[in-house]
Amino acid sequence: MAGRLILGIETSCDETAAAVYSSDDGLRSNVLYSQTEIHKEYGGVIPELASRSHLEKINSIVRRALEHGGVTLDVIDAIAVTVKPGLPGSLLVGLSFAKAIAWAKKKPIIGIDHLEGHIFSSFLEKSLPFPYLCLSASGGHTALYLVKNFGEFQIIGQTLDDAAGEAFDKIAKLMGLGYPGGPLIEKYAQEISFEDFFHYPRGNPHTLDFSFSGLKTAVLYDLVKRGWYDLPAKSLLATMNFENKKQVASSLLVCISKMFEQKIELALKEFSYVRGISFVGGVACNRFIKAKLAQLANKHNLPFASPSPAFCTDNAAMIAFVGNYKAEQNKFDTYSLDIF
Ligand code: KG4
Ligand code: ZN
C-alpha cells in the first residue's frame, strides 16, 4: 500500500486540520474546519474560544481525513503534529490528541514547526530547485528564508514588529471593513485597479528586515490628516466614503507589494546563486502580490512557486508533507513531546 503514510494534524491557531500524505502518491486527503465565523465578531482570534472549538472538532476532522484518504489509523506509519509556534491552548489540543492515538496504536510521532510547514507548503504542488528564496507572510509571521534543502533553511530577514497579515487585518479594522482584513483589502483594491493613490512609506530599502507597525501608524495619521478619522475618539468619520476606502485599500496593497519586491530584489543581490523564489503563507492568497512576485521571478529567469489558497492559509497538508521527509530522515520524537 502507497509507500509511507503520514497523518498530519494542525491546531496552532484557529483552524482544526488533518491530512494524509503518502510518500508514493502525494496528498491523499486534506480536511479543515475554520473557526473564522466564531472569531469574526471580535475582530481577532480569542484563544480560549479557539482551544474549545479545537477540542470539539479534532476527533471528527481526523476521522474524516483518514476516511477521505482511504486509510485507517492501523496503516498510518507516523503522526506529524504542529508543536510550535501558536496559541498554547490550541497547540495542546492537537498534540494531546496526536499523542493519545500514537500511544494507543504504537505509532511514531513527529513534532512539526508550523513555520517549516508554511515554507515547504509550495512542494505540495510544485518543486523548486535548492537553494531558493522563500517569502513567508501570514497573520503571525513574515520572514525571508534561504531554503537549502528539505528541513534546512536560514532566516535572512524578518519583521521587527507586526506581521504583514496583521497590518492588513489592523488597517482593515481601522476602516471598519471586517475580519480577516487581507481578503477584504484585496476586494476593495481590485475595484479600483490597484492604483497607488497615497504613496504610503515603504520602510528601509537597505535591510532585509521588514517593519509593518510604522506603516499602520502612517496610514492612521494619513486618515487623520485627510479628515477621515477622529484620533481622540478612535473612530472613523462619515467623511470617509466608499471610494476613499477603496483608495486606501489599493494604496496599502501596492505599498506592501512594493516592500516585498524591494526585499526580494535586495536578497537576490546578496544571494545571487539562488535558483528559485517561493511565496507562501496566508498573505500569498493575494492574487495581486502573487502576480507581482511572479513577474519579478520571471524578470530574473527564476522559477516561481506559490501554493493555491488552500495551502497558503493554515492547513495540515503542509504538516504531513514535512512529517514525511522527517520520517524519511528518521527524525522521530518520543511520546514525551511537548509544545514549543
Ligand atoms: O497563514 P494564515 O492562515 O494564518 C497564520 O498563520 O497567521 O494567514 C492568515 C493571514 C491573515 O492576516 C489574513 O488577513 C491574511 O493571511 N490573508 C491575506 C489574504 N488572505 C488572507 N492577506 C492579503 N490578501 C489576501 N487575499
Ligand atoms: Zn500559519
* Cα gap 281→313, rounded to integer Å: 6
The residue contributing the CA closest to ligand 1 atom 23 is 182
pLDDT in tens, 215-274: 999 999 999 999 999 999 999 999 999 999 999 999 999 999 999 999 999 999 999 999
d(CA 138, ligand 1 centre) in Å: 5
What would the pLDDT profile of 109-162 be if each residue is shown by its tens digit? 999 999 999 999 999 999 999 999 999 999 989 999 999 999 999 999 999 999
Q: Cα of 118 to ligand 2 centre, how many Å?
A: 7
**Read out DSSP for 86-114?**
S-HHHHHHHHHHHHHHHHHHT--EEEEEH
Select the more confidently predicted residue: 179 or 135: 135
Is the distance from the beta carbon of residue 203 to the nearest atom of ligand 1 less than 6 Å?
Answer: no
Q: Does 8 contact ligand 1 (Cβ within 6 A)?
A: no
Of the candidates 163, 175, 249, which has an alpha carbon nearest to the alpha carbon of residue 209?
163
Structure letter (DSSP) for residue 287: H
Distance 197 CA to ligand 2 centre (A): 31
The finding on whether 140 has its CB within 6 A of some atom of ligand 1 is yes
Give the number of the atom of ligand 1 that is nearest the alpha carbon of residue 181: 14
pLDDT at 73: 98
Q: Whole-model pTM? A: 0.95
